[in-house]
Amino acid sequence: MRRAEADRKPAISPLHDPRWRSVAYQAVLCVIILALFYGAIDNAAQNLQKARIAYGFDFWNHPAGFEISQTLIDYSTASTYGRAFWVGLLNTLLVASLGIVFATIIGFVVGIARLSRNVLVARLAGSYVEIVRNLPLLLQLLFWYNAVLKALPEVADSLVFPGGTLLNNRGLFLPQPIAGESLSLVPLTFVVGLLGAIAFRHWAKRRQESTGRQAPVASVALVLIVGLPLVVFLLSGMPVDFAYPEMGRFNIRGGIEVLPEFMALLFGLSIYTAAFIAEAVRAGIQAVSHGQTEAAYSLGLRPGQTLRRVVIPQAMRVIVPPLTNQYLNLTKNSSLAVAIGYPDLVQIFAGTVLNQTGQAVEVIAITMAVYLAISLVTSLLMNLYNARITLVER
Amino acid sequence: MKRVIFTLSLLTLAIGAATSPAFAQTLNTVKQRGVLNCGANGILAGFGLPDAQGNWTGFDVDYCRAIAAAIFNDPSKVKFVPLSAKDRFTALQSGEVDVLARNTTWTSSRDTSLGLQFTAINYYDGQGFLVRKSLKVNSALELNDAAVCVQQGTTNELNTADFFRSNRMKLKTVTFATANETLKAYDAGRCDAFTTDASALYAERLRTTNPNDHVVLPEIISKEPFAVVVRHGDDQWFDIVKWVHFVLINAEELAITKANVDQQLKSDNPEIRRLLGVEGNQGEAFGLTNDFAVRIIKHVGNYGEIFERNLGMETPLKITRGLNALWTKGGLQYAPPVR
């Protein structure tokens, strides 16, 4: 009887129902925000039209007419502004993704070194972090760029490395591998080896769970993934030719060219961001209480196992959120490329294309949307990873 | 700072705070403000450069001073806003500056799609190349496969690509946002050649570590007619800025100088009397005073004086008049009559 009374909904009008009211408020807010956006866009379009400034996105298919020093896809002066946009975007993604890899590696090494019992190593790592973290990134980029340009020899006196690699102040020139006919076997065996390694790991894990016996997963995987393709490569008679860089009238021709602007930017971004990552790593490791290590030792785990199985999984929970921030920062900071002439999205699209077309509003809007999208995708991936490593709470 | 200006410009563009009424009344706005906002170069000797005390000098700078003299009878009532090649048009479009006098090339697309008006050609220039003497290059046509340093957002960037393409030569450009960075990279050996407008090429050569190691190639690969730029849609302002240039040319043609302008007021020559506002009311038709030409000439001199003071043989740049001589002396500088 009492239950039935409690279950019956009180008869109140939707006007006073808090749920309806909050939905209504939010709907009104959304409409207002959308109206504001629409108003701003419409107003801008009208004003641009009134001021006789070109507007809209027609420029996307017009020929660009300028050269770009680094293009990952086919591009010439006859290509369109749209094509130039993709060139710039790919250049940004290239430097950002490589920067993230290097910054993570350096950051983890330095972060762990800061906790080293060796005083010299710990102090060195500490001063690296303090110096790099406290200088403006733009200054560091200019420093690295000028250091690269000044320290390296002129193009005529290139440093020659064994294997045909050349280094000078125009960049690093590597021999370019040209695939022979039977080379396709190598990636095939690589895939086979990879699948084999995954299967072996699965089998080893099941066997350890049931019998307690361990298998040398790492070395078997290494043989399958690296050794197998290598053997196939050698057996098929090394079907690779190299196009070696050679000195032309002014410049090095042929080979793979790595621009000094790219090297300086990658170097600067990695080193700068690594300092912040190192701090996150140090904090993460220190956040795991020492009792955990002691408990692992008393269970008979070796130091390496303790680190891998006990400390790092718990430290990662603390490390990953700030790590995500640093990845986002690195990607956004790559736009400082504009200062040292690396053709990234901002330099090409928000720079030259904006200037040639004069369509500042459209170009900047697209550029902002792109950075927003890159950042959101990065955080999405990192959040998925974070969810996977979160401590399972019971 | 530049970035801040640029962002603000963009914001005003997007929100549309500076709508057409404000655009249409540039003269009144400038008069009320009491100072002319002039978009200038800031790092180019001869055209626009502040000295250690913050005093701006240069050919383009004198045009802004001439406009200020015409309006206020005081050439110091100018606020110079240094702009990079990349940001200059946005700053003018958004009303950040009233005029853009920044060695800016007049092209059809800039004239039609930017919402801007090019007033009159005040300097005929062309693009050239600077190379190291040690390369033993005698002609720009020998630059196949060379790396060229060029400033971003300039016609130079496009001309270089065109020149190499039409001569079937391979090109590697390295572009930088500012002229300083571009020159520094060339000087450090990043590029074989440095390219910009010929007028600037001589000034930039002097800024390299060893100017004597570098040589300007003989080819001029493009037409670079410089003009002072205003916003579209304010005909009165457009006329004023355009006629400040014509007054300067006419004054040189009639041999009216800074020194003799007061005596010339008593001249019997009807052309001089009309130009200086002794006869007729030309100045009022522009919305200025009738003696606006006197004010201009008294404060900055005529076209020839401006040229010689900033670019001529007495300056480190030593640029000859060439195409910029008066039409009566074999050049292209010509102005409609005051009548």
Confidence tier at B21 by pLDDT (50, 70, 90)? very low
Which of A69, A168, A250 would you mutate first to test chain B, the one with the most B CBs within 10 A? A250
Q: Kindly state whether A303 is in contact with chain B, defined as any CB-CB distance less than 8 angstroms.
A: no
Q: Same domain for A36 and A106?
A: no
Closest alpha carbon within chain B to A66: B158
CB contact under 8 A, A69 and B233: no
For B186-195, write each residue's pLDDT tens digit. 998 889 999 9
Record: contact A43-B165, CB cut-off 8 A: no
Residues A46 and A132 in one domain: no
Asked if the Cβ–Cβ distance from A351 to B135 is below 8 Å, we say no
Name which of B13, B171, B229 to mutate to probe chain A: the one with the most chain A Cβ atoms within 10 A of its Cβ.
B13
Are B307 and B314 a contacting pair, CB within 8 Å? no
B-chain CB neighbours of A44 within 8 Å are 13-16
**Does A166 share its domain with A278?**
yes
The answer to whether the CB of B249 falls within 8 A of the CB of B307 is: no
On whether ipTM exceeds 0.85, the answer is no
pLDDT above 50: residue B20: no
What tokens does B4 get?
Answer: 């801040």
Least confident of A2-16, A112-126, B281-295: A2-16
Q: Is the pLDDT of residue B23 over 70?
A: no
**Could you tell me the residue ranges of all domains in chain B?**
2-125+225-329, 129-222
Closest CA of chain A from B278, distance in Å: 38
Give the C-alpha separation, A291 to A288, whole Å.
Answer: 8
Q: Report in angstroms the alpha-carbon separations of B13 from A40, A214, B89, B100.
A: 10, 68, 12, 17
Measured CA distances, B184 to A289, B171, B209 (Å): 53, 20, 9
- The model's confidence at residue A393, banded by pLDDT at 50, 70 and 90, is low
Contact B14/A40, CB-based, under 8 Å? Answer: yes
**Same structural domain, A136 and A251:** yes
Residues of A in contact with B232 (CB under 8 A): 51-53
Percentage, residues of chain B above pLDDT 70: 93
Supply the CATH number for residue A344's domain: 1.10.3720.10
Same domain, A21 and A112: no
Identify whether residues A9 and A106 lie together within a single domain: no
d(CA A139, CA A141): 5
Structure tokens at A27: 């709907």
Q: Do B13 and A47 touch (CB under 8 A)?
A: yes
How many A/B residue pairs have CB atoms within 8 Å?
146
In terms of domains, do A36 and A111 share one? no
pLDDT of the residue at B15: 53
The fold of B2-125+225-329 is D-Maltodextrin-Binding Protein; domain 2 (3.40.190)
> Do residues B12 and B94 make contact, with C-beta atoms less than 8 angstroms apart?
yes
Residue A356 belongs to a domain: yes
Burial of A52-79, coded b for 16+ CB within 10 Å and e otherwise, reads: ebbbeeebbeeebbbbbbbbeeebebeb
For residues A70 and A83, is the Cβ–Cβ distance under 8 A? no
For the stretch A137-193, pLDDT in tens is: 999 999 999 887 778 888 888 888 887 888 888 888 888 888 777 777 788 888 888
The answer to whether residue A210 sits within a structural domain is no
Could you give the number of structural domains in chain A? 2
In this predicted model, what pLDDT tens digit does every residue of A76-99 receive, in sequence order? 888 999 999 999 999 999 999 999
Is A352 close to B144, i.e. CB distance below 8 A? no
Q: Which helix (H) or strand (E) holds B38?
A: strand B36-40
Write out chain B residues lying below 8 Å of A249, CB-based: 144-146
Compute the C-alpha angle A53/A332/B149, nearest 5°: 65
Residue B189: how many CB atoms within 10 A of its CB? 19
Tell me if domain B2-125+225-329 and domain B129-222 are identical in fold: yes
pLDDT at A394: 61
Q: Are A157 and A270 within one domain?
A: yes
Based on the domain organization, do A14 and A161 belong to the same domain?
no
Range of the domain at A119: 81-175+244-389
Using alpha carbons, list the distances in angstroms from residue B19 to A109, B98, B271. Answer: 56, 14, 40
Query: What mean pLDDT is predicted for residues A17-32?
Result: 90
Closest by Cβ to A67, choosing from B135, B171, B231:
B171
**Mean pLDDT throughout A264-276?**
95
| B175 Cβ under 8 Å from any chain A Cβ | yes
**Per-residue model confidence as pLDDT tens digits over A369-388:** 999 999 999 999 999 998 88
Cα–Cα distance for residue pair B169/A295, rounded to 1 Å: 71
Q: Identify the CATH class of B129-222.
A: alpha beta
Q: Which of residues 250-279 of B touch A (CB under 8 A)?
A: none
Name the minimum distance, in Å, from the CA of B256 to any CA of chain A: 38
Q: What is the pTM of this model?
A: 0.81
User: A283 and A353 share a domain?
Assistant: yes
Per-residue model confidence (pLDDT) at position B7: 59
Q: A64 to chain B: nearest residue by CA? A: B158
